[in-house]
Structure 1
Amino acid sequence: MSILTDSTVTDTGASADAKKAHNKKLMTVLGSGLSGTTIEFYDFFIYGTAAALVFPKLFFPTLTPFMGLIVSLLTLSITFVSRPIGAIVFGHFGDKIGRKKSLVLSLMIMGGSTFCIGLVPTYDAIGNLAPLLLIFLRLCQGFAIGGEWGGATTMVTEYAPVHRRGFFGTFVQLGNVLGLFIATAVFAIVAWLPEPQLMSWGWRIPFLLSIALMFVGLYIRAKIEETPVFTEGEAKNQKHEFPIIAVMKYHWRAVLTAMGMRMGEIVLGWLTVAFFMSYVTRQLNFSRETALNGLLLASFVGIFTFPFFGYLSDKIGRRPVYLAGAAITLIFAFPLFWMIDTGSVKMFYFATTFCYSVGLGMMFSVQPAFFAELFDTNVRYTGVSLGFQLANIVGGLTPMIATLLIAWSGGDSWPVSLFLAVMATITICCVCITKESYRADLSVKITR
């Protein structure tokens, strides 16, 4: 059956026009979620790639190559300060005045910040002001991203039919895949430039191109309407004055659970899309093109696996799919690096693709539906955003932690594998204590 014929509009007495109108709204919402998170992750991935490959020389040239890399990766993780703040601020207004307005504002701030990074002069031009501007814009990015994912997730899952919520939720996560694919493809193209041109102006191109993606996202979001679930709660005035207080009072266990469920996924994700860039080029002497091609392949395969896992979670439940992904991450924590450390390009491609599109995919693709089902409508935007973004405190530090562990071990990768295994174990424990929710009703509930 086509997904367009499966809607929340009741068949009895419903006209064909009503069904068509509802399906059109649903597809617009899916397009809004997909476009917004694609831009979010595009911005994120081009910064991660640049931080690993070019920023150490451009913004921290006075440091040793190793310390330049460490500081550059630290700017990548600096958003752990602003992401939770963004989650609280955008979550508050998203739960109080509506999902749409918050999503439009977050997209504008995020796209504008990324574009401005492409205009920042380097250290050679303005000295210490260059890294300070970079950090400021990175904080702005984090603030906006803090409200983007939770808002898109809330919007899509509240519109989705209950028995297709997992599948439709993957459209939010496909933004990760498409953002990674587009960002890696653009960087792979500019990486062909001679070194002087790449360092002079080529690295700016991916950042400047983000403005076009932002306008596409804003055009789509201008057409969306508030979800029926939110409108119902608004009509009954069933909203907390301060959603963050309600979340911390009634849903703090759900926030901690969501954070724990993300540990294995987020560490594996940051290793794949950020740390491997520097690891294989510096430790194994792979070319930039080889490293980027590995990410291209992984993201391309993920385009097909992510929706499948979301669909599967609608059939057998969220917990089995999520647990399988966490178990694969745990089992492959050491073999992942064993394969990469062989120095074989084919093994690197296989390891990266399998762990990203399958191990990570089974967890990441289910998160929108699974996390949304943990919270009541009146605090869902805030709760989902906060649980998701607080986990980035660990995730954002992962590339730097992994780099320090490699240095501490004298080049051995086993400490990083152990770190990943511990995080995957935390995820497994958190999923085991979480109730199955794939048939849960997302209609308005008020926590007392």
Structure 2
Amino acid sequence: MPPPAAGKRDVVWADGLRGIASVLVVTAHITRSLVPHLLAPAMSEKLPPTFFQLPFVRCLVMGRASVAAFALLAGYVNSLSALKKARAGNTEAALQGIAKSAFRRTGRFVTPAVIATTLSWLLCQFGAYRIANISSSNWIRDTSPGPSSSFAMAFYDLFKNLGTTWLNGANEYDRIQWTLTYLLKGSMMTYLTLFATVYVKPKWRMIICAGLYYFKWKSGDSLVGFNVFCGIILAEVSLDRDIQEAVDRHPYLRMVGSACCIVLGLFFCSYPEEKPEWARWSDFETKLGHYMFPQGVEYARYYPGLGSNVLTLGVMFNDTAKKLLSQRFFLFLGKNSFPIYLIHAPMIRTVLTWVLFGFSKRPDNGKDDKGHQLPPGWLPVASTWVCLIAIPVFYVFLYRVANLWSNYVDPFCGRVTQWFEDLVFRDDAKTASEKPLLLQ
């Protein structure tokens, strides 16, 4: 793979990081489906942890840090081009790019989500979730709706869920789409901040964004708010020549400092979603959180957000990490990150569920005290060996489908957005280029 152009170098590692985050989202939902006990730091208060419950390792089976990373990278990548132009004094081009990108963002978010929801709706109405509805996995069962009661009601349910996805995040056919509303808000928050500060001197813009970061931190907006402003600040830092020269003058400190940030970020991201008091390290993080976080917030949201902030800071100043994330494999993951996010849950509830539960037999629960037959139990999961073989194959199949989505569905969504843009924009509006940004 040839080295990226100068402008591309600023974001290519971010694509790789986004790709890893999307993989971890899938892993997290498979974990919730099959081994939800891994969400705690130990098997019980008195039992030792398993391997995947250990700090750092457990980052592989947790997904909340990934959502925070999506928001952070949205702030970073969406602001980079406008900040470059503003720093060069080309504010007119910066404002034009902000306006065009903000207009396009809704279409690039909504159109693929509508297609994904419609496909999941079709799967539901034709009974593809039937096995999922009777599986022993609580997460799979709870996220798998049943067919509508009538033909007319089916279309009513579809249009209702297409609307509520963006009103309150509710989508019965793909419940993980609740995050898209917040990520779209995060993108608009980025554009609004850039619009308001495009004439501000760079150092003052960083101070303003730092103040907004603090405001979002104190107000409890851990999902998107402070992560987006962290991304804007990191974009400013990456473009600031004085900061870069100061860091480059101390290569040893840069190497050690960035490595420490990566390790510390992973440690923060390891904070368990359940029962943090069951392990000393997570109990220590809970006590530390009393001094760092606002009162009454959910630490299992704040720690992954803080961890993704510190981790990304470390990666940005670590040439080895950036070079690793710029490899073709990670760029492939980044290219398919949005398709993966949209299609992985329906495919878990269909393809993976059929393989892991479809060949099992529902257990007979016998009869009650009055001699009436009790309903059969839930379908048990297949053996460990079947899971160990089926899950890696599922990942390969999932990414094959996601790559087809990237090659065919994404360009179609882009054409739809471009058509609408040509329809409503003035003839004298110049076309501003936009990079294919995923999950922003």
If the TM-score is normalised by the length of the shorter chain, which range does it land in? under 0.3
Q: Which has more radius of gyration?
A: 2
TM-score, normalization: structure 1? 0.26
TM-score by length of 2: 0.26
